[in-house]
Each structure stands twice: as C-alpha cells, then as structure tokens.
Chains A and B, each alone.
Chain A
C-alpha cells in the first residue's frame, strides 16, 4: 500500500506566529458572523434603551438645566434631594412596604402553591383562578381596589364585609396608618399568580419518594414541608426573594392610582413616586436623576450582598 503523501493538499506553514493568530481570529469572526449579527440587535437595543439612559441619568444627576443652559453642579442635586422633607419618609414607606410585601407576597404564594399541589381535582381550574389577576392590566386591577374595595364609605366592599362581621371599618387609602397595608394587599393579589406558578413547577420536580420516605419515618405535614419541600425548593425560593425585594422597592403604580400620588400627608410616597414627583411635577429632572442614582446604588448593593450570601451557602 502506497503511503500517501499530501504536501499539495496540506496547508503551508505560516511564516510568522502573528499571522497565524490573525488568521485564527479572522476565522473565528467569520465562523461566528451569524451569531454576532443576531446579537447586534439585542446589544443595540440594550445600549439604546437601558445603558444609555442609565449613563445619561448619572450624568444628569451632576448637572442642572436652567433657561436651556446646562451646568455642572457637583453633588448639589444629591444634597438637595436628601434635604427634601419627603426623602426619608419615602424611604421609610418603601422599606415598610417591602417588608410587608415580603411577608405576605412571598410566603402566601408558597403556601398557596403547596395547597394547589395537594389538590387532586379541578387543578387546572384552580390554577387559572390564581393566575387570573396577573392577566388583568395592573391599572385596571388597582382601579377596582380603589373604587370598589377601598371605598372609605360603608358602601366599599371591604367595609361592607367588616360591617357585616361587626368589625370596625376603615378609611383605607385615606387613613395614614392603613395606606401601606392596603397597597400591600392589592399588590399581593395582583402579582402572586406568577410566583404561585413558579413554585408549583418547582414543587412538581420534587421526587415523590422523598415524601414517602418522610411519611414512613412518621413526619407530619409541617415536618414534610420543613424537611423536604423547603430544602428542595431553596434555590427558587432564594431567587424569588431577591426578585420580590427588588421589584417591591420600585413601588410606583400602587401609590399613583390607589392614593392619587402621595396619599394623605405623604403616607403613600415611595422613593419611585418621589422621583416622579420631582421630575414631572416639580420641574426638577436633575433632582429626580440624583434620587434615581441613589436608588440604583441601594438596590445594586442589596443584590450584590444577597448574591454573595446565597452563593456562599451553596
């Protein structure tokens, strides 16, 4: 058998090392051209609609525009915004809302998901029922709450129920103490459907043998939840907790619709609403940009700490 010599078909040795690298890079680019071309759309959209406004916002927070002239003012907007009497009130309201929304809006969907998972009949119907509020536009859902559920007179749905139960009624959004809890209830009702579905999907991935083994060991319902369900869904639980906190900290549409803005004596003013108020009612877009940057830093710091802590645990 003749040995094949193929000098003619073999590639000639490159004269220099640099050329090899160049041609390799060129080939890589050629090979990935399609991928890059597809990617460019997403990158451009992100750059234009996410990164550019973010950078522009940061720049604006150090500027002031008066009579069409924009000047650099250093930290002026920041000191001014922190001195706003509503600044700390807005942060306090936002934190209280976040904590309450976390307690109610995070735990409730988990237990609803566990319950739904246990049902043997009408599963699909119940899931649709739980998910239905998510399909309502948030503004419509909040108007329903505003005009039907939270009507301060005795004609309001919640007050009618309270009255029928011989319990004291409330002025809901007009009561400084009830404003935040009322927003939490509406927000949880509107948003819990998605979380329930995610939890359900996660619950259905838990192997049945684990529950069987636990039952054989004599574990009751709570024990099974604590020792099987929670550890098996820990990843999704931690992820949703972070998303929930980041989303609820950006509380905006609830005060805007339920409380017509700031509510009674700033009781509904959230940080995001204060940004809107400065930017669009007080002709202070630079102050609004400064407050947005502060919020960005707080949320980014929280997310970083959270990710670090949860990664360490894993």
Chain B
C-alpha cells in the first residue's frame, strides 16, 4: 500500500472506530424483559458497600450468594455508589441521566425529586405478603412516607429519629454526670461550656452548617422548639418565627457567647464525625447510627458514646426529626424484575435474622448490635418481637448507653416536602450564626424564608 493509501485507510478506520464507539455507548445491554441468556431474571441493585467496608461488603456478597442459591431463577448484579449511598449531587446526576440501577437506594426526602424525574415505578400492586413476608408488620408510618396519592413508590428499609449524642468520657473529664445528659438547651449550653473548658481544641457542642446538613439539623432543632419548617399546605416557609429565632440564638450564644463550639465551622457530615471520632466533640444532635459511623469510619470507640433525648427549650422537646431510607424501583422494569427486587429487599432488609438484621453474624464484627434503631416493624408485631429478641441476645454495645434515649421518646416529625432543597437554603442561616459574631438572625431567617417561598412556588 502506498503512503496516501495508508493514510486513507487509517482515516477511514478512525472514522469507523469512532462510529462504533458511539454506537456502543448508546446500546442497551439487556433486553426489556430483564432476563439473561439462561432465562434468569436479572436485576441491578445499588448501595453495595465499598471495598473499604470489608466486613459489610463480605456480608453483602454472602447475602447475594445465599439469595441466588435459594432463588436460582434470579441474578443480582450489585453496584456500589460510594460509602454514603446517597450523596445528593451524585444522586441527582444519576436520576437526571437515568443511570440508576433497577432497584435504587434513596432517602425518604427524595420521593418528590424521584417522582419529578419521572423515574419511579408505582409498585403498589406488586407489594404483598407474597413478595415481602413481613410486609404487614412494617410500620405503616414508614410506608406512608414513600406513598403519594395512594401509590407506593419505595420500600422503607431503615429509619431513625434524632436525639442528643454525647461523649461519656468527656462528660466525666469535665466533671459532668455521664448518666444524666442535658434535657434542655440551657443545660446543653452549660455542659458545652464545661466540656470546652477542658481545652485542647475540644468543642463542647458541635453543629453542621454546610452540604445540606446544616438545614437538616436546623429542622431537627426547630421541631424540638415546637416549630415547623413549612406551613400546613407545604407552600410557604414557616420557620421565620420565635422558634426559628430561638434555634439560631441558642447556637450563636454557644458559639460566640461561650466560645464552646470550637473554631472550625462550615462542617459537613464527615467533618463533625471525624472530630467526634478523635474525641474532640462533647455533644451533637444525631441518630443512634451516628455512633456506628464514628466507630467504623472515624476510629472512635463505642464505649465512649451514649444518647439522651432531643433537648427542649424549657422542658422536654416538643418534637424531633425522623427520617430514613428505602429502595425505589426504576420505571420500565418487567413484572418479573419487580418481583425479584421485592424478594431481594425482603430477604436482605426486612427479615429478622437475615441480611442487615442478621445480628448473630454482626455481633463479632466492628458494627454495633443493640442500638435502639432502626424500628421498622410495628409495636407488638411478630416480626418486631423476633427482631428485638435477636438484637438483645446479640448486643455488642452497652445498651444502657441508649436507655435514657429509649425511655424518653419524643414525638417524631417527618422531613418537609422538598427537604434537600430547603436544607441547602437553611445551611446559609446556620453558617451565619456559627461564623459571624455580628450575624443578624432576623435578616438570616428573612433571606432564607424568601428563598424557600420561591422554591416552593416553583415546585408547586
């Protein structure tokens, strides 16, 4: 071949190669029925633990193997989407691009976003005792969170409510009674001041103010004051009131009045828990599973941590934030795939003694058994009895550390509609009082109110 011919051939090969690559990008790999060549129903499922979570990953893989053995006509393809299965920007990108797995993880706050994207499947008729044997025992309030206009869009698999997480070791060091945590915000302030007095960069009380987590905690704290984030009809902001002001005032007083919240602010989820794991945080608002993250991800020790109820302003808290997570089903799945997905969730998430509720397996591992939550099943149901018995028998944490939290239940209030967007706005109010000694609380709340009203108007 002459040089020009070589050149021509190379050019044509390049163009053809590019065409094939582009075509390959747009080709769907499986057929519409979701069955593979051997006739197995195949589903993709996300939130597989990442490689760094060795024991959790091994548990998940063992569950997949056992499930496939028991259901030889189903094949589970696991996908890992990061340690925090739902990082809001990644989740949004997957939804917008339609690249979620067939059965995909989401927060309770994600329902509206998932529905807006048009990616969720109505699974109402597919869910029953046949597909999920414990379905009748699952707390109806949790089912309701994933229901819109009578249609169910996801299966709840975890829930939580918030309280006051505190470091017993720091309490003792500061001369505080570790068995009697603060029950009001005034007591929190006094304890925070003493703990911060230990020095060494210890924050008596620590709080989020970035990455949507500030707004999330503002919501929990305004509930404790008896306030609301949105009006009853969900169309207007309702936090620019005495309750909202009190939340910010409490924080400002601790941050600049007492200097008991440390200098590092603009904290996100991992930042605060890293500090907590390092023994630099006396108290923070969180759910029981925060202790799991502190130990398994941030090198803390279970024995250091305990929980009390959510503090109230002048007495017991008037409410606390509850939330959780579930699995959605991607629109367009075949009936067989939906059934397979439900069977997998039933096995891995909602069967006492199996999957995430396999406490015998979890006991020797570095994951807590015996925390007071999740509470997926209704009081008095057989499933709840089985699950609680197993939990108690295999507890590897000192359940006494959570007794005060359990014995003082606070009314759980759900997350507001369009929660993640609202949380992003409220981050600004939180960061304002935590980083600016001259922050004007009225002005911070007014700006946030304007933004939230606009958001709600656009979303309606």
Contacts and interface: CB of A to CB of B under 8 A. Distances in A.
Chains A and B bind each other: yes
B118 A38 contact: no
Contact of A280 (B18, B93, B450, B451): B93
Contacts of A140: none
A280 B86 CA distance: 12
Contact of B18 (A41, A153, A174, A265): A41
Contacts of B365: none
Contacts of B418: 283
B193 to A, nearest CB: 19
B263 interface: yes
Interface string B418-434: 10110010011001101
Contacts of A262: 210, 427-428, 431
A274 B27 CA distance: 34
A279 interface: yes
A282 B455 contact: yes
Interface stretch (B108-116, B155-163, B169-177, B312-320): B108-116
B278 to A, nearest CB: 14
Nearest to B13: A37
A253 B216 CA distance: 24
Contacts of B96: 285
A293 interface: no
Interface string A16-50: 00000000000000000111011011001100100
A67 interface: yes
A101 to B, nearest CB: 22
A16 B454 CA distance: 69
Interface string B7-22: 1100110110010001
Contacts of A264: 209, 265-266, 431-432, 434-436
B230 to A, nearest CB: 15
Say whether chain A's binding surface is mostly helix, strand, loop, or mixed. helix
B268 interface: yes
Nearest to A176: B436
A206 B9 CA distance: 45
A171 B263 CA distance: 8
A174 B18 CA distance: 48
A182 to B, nearest CB: 13
Interface string A266-303: 10000000001101111111010000000000000000
Given A264-B432, A264-B436, A281 B421 contact: yes
Contact of A174 (B117, B265, B424, B451): B265
B44 interface: no
B262 to A, nearest CB: 8
B115 A67 contact: yes
A69 interface: yes
B439 interface: yes
A153 B455 contact: no
Nearest to A153: B263
B11 A153 contact: no
A126 B428 CA distance: 43
B421 A283 contact: yes
A265 B88 contact: no
Interface in B197-254: 201, 209-212
Nearest to B421: A282
A12 interface: no
A150 to B, nearest CB: 10
A34 B8 contact: yes
B119 interface: yes
A252 to B, nearest CB: 12
Contacts of B201: 153, 155
Interface stretch (A78-86, A207-215, A217-225, A235-243): A78-86
Interface string A128-156: 00000000000000000000000111010
Contact of A260 (B22, B117, B266, B450): B266
Contact of A279 (B22, B92, B210): B92
Contacts of A67: 115-116, 118
Contacts of A171: 263, 435
Contacts of A66: 116, 459
A68 B14 contact: no
A263 interface: yes
Contact of A68 (B7, B116, B450): B116
B93 A261 contact: no
A40 B21 CA distance: 14
B71 to A, nearest CB: 31
A71 interface: no
A227 interface: no
A290 B38 CA distance: 48
Contact of B451 (A35, A84, A283): A84
Nearest to B425: A282
Contacts of B444: 265
Contacts of B380: none
Interface in B327-372: 331
A83 B458 CA distance: 12
A38 B454 contact: no
A260 B210 contact: yes
Contacts of A41: 14-15, 18
Nearest to A151: B264
A239 to B, nearest CB: 32
A48 B23 CA distance: 12
B354 to A, nearest CB: 35
Nearest to B213: A260
Nearest to A258: B266
Interface in B63-121: 88-89, 92-93, 96, 112-113, 115-119
Nearest to A66: B116
Interface in B103-152: 112-113, 115-119
A284 B18 contact: no
16 contacts: A33-B11, A37-B12, A38-B11, A41-B15, A65-B118, A67-B118, A69-B118, A155-B201, A174-B266, A262-B210, A262-B428, A264-B434, A265-B432, A277-B424, A281-B88, A282-B420
Given A264-B209, A281-B212, 9 more contacts: A65-B117, A67-B118, A86-B451, A152-B263, A260-B211, A260-B266, A261-B427, A265-B428, A277-B424
What are the nearest 8 A-B pairs in CB distance? Answer: A68-B118, A37-B11, A260-B210, A280-B89, A264-B435, A282-B421, A281-B424, A174-B435
